[in-house]
């Protein structure tokens, strides 16, 4: 069996569920009080190339109850496309995750996300709930399949 280590980024606005996602994927747990990221509603900030260096793929996450967090995904994707390249110069594959789909206060429709995902060059999009453990390992598997197909 061959093992390989991949660097996968997780980006998105503050409070969309990134830390919870990583914690769920790694430890299999969701703790609603678990708070790694500093509070506040941080929006898009351009990252330095050093952060992106050597990455093979990216999860771009937003919160389905916060339409602004989807708008920011366009900026995150542009930043990635211009700075996070594979050795052959192509942009790294990115999957768009619509998190918190367990909440009824949803403001972003599936149709809207689908259109956004296509227009912005995401490899795919999936609805996730870190809380209900929906599509967490599946989304990473989808991204890794894409990475390994290059």
- Interface with ligand GDP in residues 38-57 (CB under 6 A): none
Tokens of 42: 């941080």
Number of shown-chain residues binding ligand GDP (CB under 6 A): 17
Question: Of 95, 99, 91, 102, whose CA–CA distance to 139 is shortest?
Answer: 95
H/E element, 60: strand 57-63
Window of 73-81, 94-102, 107-115, 136-144 that interacts with ligand GDP by CB under 6 A: 94-102
Rounded to whole angstroms, the Cα distance separating 143 from 123 reads 8
Is the CB of 8 or the CB of 130 nearer to ligand GDP? 130
User: Does 18 participate in binding ligand GDP (rule CB under 6 A)?
Assistant: yes
Question: Of 51, 23, 55, 52, whose CA–CA distance to 36 is shortest?
Answer: 23
Binds ligand GDP by CB under 6 A, chosen from 9, 11, 15, 98: 15
User: Does 96 participate in binding ligand GDP (rule CB under 6 A)?
Assistant: no
The SS3 assignment for 125 reads: strand
Residue number, nearest CB to ligand GDP: 17
Query: By the 8 A CB rule, do 21 and 69 touch?
Result: no
User: Does 35 participate in binding ligand GDP (rule CB under 6 A)?
Assistant: yes
Binds ligand GDP by CB under 6 A, chosen from 27, 29, 37, 82: 37
Q: Which residue has the tokens 């996730």?
A: 128
Annotate each residue in 107-146 with x if it binds ligand GDP (CB under 6 A) or - if it does not, as one string: ----------------------xxx---------------
């Amino acid at each position: 069996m061959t093992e390989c280590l991949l660097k996968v980024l997780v980006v998105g606005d503050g409070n969309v569920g990134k830390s919870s996602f990583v914690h769920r994927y790694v430890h299999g747990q969701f703790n609603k009080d678990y708070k790694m990221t500093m509070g506040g509603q941080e929006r898009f900030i351009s990252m330095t190339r050093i952060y992106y260096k050597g990455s093979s793929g990216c999860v771009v996450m937003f919160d389905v109850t916060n339409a602004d967090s989807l708008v920011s995904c366009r900026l995150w994707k542009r930043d990635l496309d211009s700075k996070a390249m594979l050795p052959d110069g192509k942009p790294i594959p990115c999957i768009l995750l619509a998190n918190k789909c367990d909440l009824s206060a949803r403001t972003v429709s599936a149709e809207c996300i689908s259109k956004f995902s296509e227009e912005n060059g995401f490899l795919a999009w999936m609805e996730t709930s870190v809380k209900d453990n929906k599509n967490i390992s599946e989304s990473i598997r989808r991204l890794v399949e894409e990475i390994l197909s290059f």
